[in-house]
Amino acid sequence: MAKTKIEQTVLMIKNQISNKSLIAGSRLPSVRQFATQTNCSVSTIVEAYARLVAEGVLESRLGSGYYVLGKAEPMQMIDTEIQYQREIDPLWISRQSLEAKTDVLKPGCGWLPTTWMPEQSIRKALKQAAKSEIIMLTDYATPHGHLELRKFIARKKELYDLKFKLNQILITDSATQSIDLIFRHLLSAGDVILIDDPCYFNFRALIKAHHLKAVPIPFTETGPDVEKFEQALNLKPKIYLTNSGIHNPTGATISLQTVYQISKLVEKTDLLIIEDEIFADFEYTPAPRYASLAGFKHVIQIGSFTKTLSAAIRCGYIIAESELIDQLIDLRIATNFSNSHLNAEIIYQALMDSSYPKHLDWLKKHLLKVSNEMMQKLGQLGIKPWIVPTAGIFLWCKLPDGIQAAELSKLCLKQGVILAPGNSFSQAENAGQFMRFNVAQCVDKKVFDILAMSIQQLKINNLQS
């Protein structure tokens, strides 16, 4: 992007310091003098000087002017080394993906490429939010959070035949924060919780952080294994944590029959279902929801806008019975006081932009096309999808015989490709034979070149051992 006059001025002064035209202790021209010399406005120079003071490049001496500071001892910056030999645990993929440099390929991460995100909608929303009343820019949010965003969420839920009051929605800073808040309020160390197997690896990380006992329920093409689920109820679990809509990592969609059967079982217990519908906007046809059949007496819904709008502007929500929401608000005030009202306003403005529905439509069609292409390319390497998803970004795939996901992941990581081994999503015996692929992050030909070479290398190693 083209630099503003302020940025150009800042860069010019820094260059003069670098080439010794200005040395430590040098006095800069007055604001008016420098504005005349550079043909800029006085306000531009004032802002440029102020930024350089904030960065520690200049200092302002009262009644005297601006001076170049002596060169400070540079802070020691340490590049994070990728831990190739680190054990594959639930946080392995997240750490590698978040720490990776921009040239690293990330078919194992759980988000869209930057170029696929609605940049112009976000920039427009930022400008609109900047024009908000002062209370939006400086004050705390109301306890339930952004009112207009809550109204938007309520309207969207009508698609699933869900009716509830606005005080049943709590705006949070993310879906992960929502789960953490619920866990802290409802659970104690040692409590039993049901999860899908496989399931989103960060679910497992949160369960470990809260010292809970996780009971895995095998996840089938149509949802959790109903028979295993019923058996697990004998352990008196307090919560069942799952994805609704599009399942992570399998890409499967739960059937109406399974939702009905699970809902009937849950109605006879004190179990609460937390359904995370973070991938809802990727759906072509809305899948059934537990909340639609079991109601909010037995279900808590959470979600966010990270996957299709922005991961940088953190904002999520919880929908539950009003009494539980009030209790969660008290806990949130005690521990975090408030959520980011400004973030919620930016998200709301972006959602209201007329181009956003078009962006979602393009996204779903493009993902379907790319998904079909990726399945073909993976198939040529002997990597086969467990199911063919109807929507979403994930393929849950079985690797060729004799190839272990953890070994393949570490080998590819050394070549600049971050994968998502099945070991991070499941503790099942055969988990090491599976891999989750993000089709949106697989479009670079290098992904398949490095996969092919690494698989070939592992086959050779297996023959030699």
Q: Structure tokens of 172?
A: 């949070």
Mean pLDDT of 374-391: 96
Q: Which pLDDT band, with edges at 50, 70 and 90, does 92 fall under?
A: low
Q: pLDDT of 27-46, one tens digit each?
A: 999 999 999 999 999 999 99
Phi/psi of residue 257, nearest 5 degrees: -60, -45
pLDDT of the residue at 87? 55
Residue 357 contacts residue 184 (beta carbons within 8 Å): no
Phi/psi of residue 421, nearest 5 degrees: -70, 145
Residue 137 has pLDDT above 60, yes or no: yes
Residue 250 has pLDDT above 60, yes or no: yes
Q: Structure tokens of 280?
A: 């809802």
Average pLDDT, the chain: 91
Q: Give which of 452, 372, 363, 364 is closest to 118, Cα–Cα.
A: 363
Mean pLDDT of 213-236: 96
Burial code (b: 16+ CB inside 10 Å, e: under 16) for 156-184 equals ebeebebebeeebbbbbbbbbbbbbbbbe
**Positive or negative torsion for Cα 354, 360, 361, 363:** positive
Q: Which pLDDT band, with edges at 50, 70 and 90, does 76 fall under?
A: very low
The whole-model pTM stands at: 0.83
Q: Between these two residues, 366 and 101, which has the higher pLDDT value? A: 366
Q: Which pLDDT band, with edges at 50, 70 and 90, does 337 fall under?
A: confident
| Residue 281, number of CB atoms within 10 A of its CB | 20
Residue 280 contacts residue 248 (beta carbons within 8 Å): no
**Using CA atoms, how far apart are residues 206 and 214, in angstroms rounded to an integer?**
11
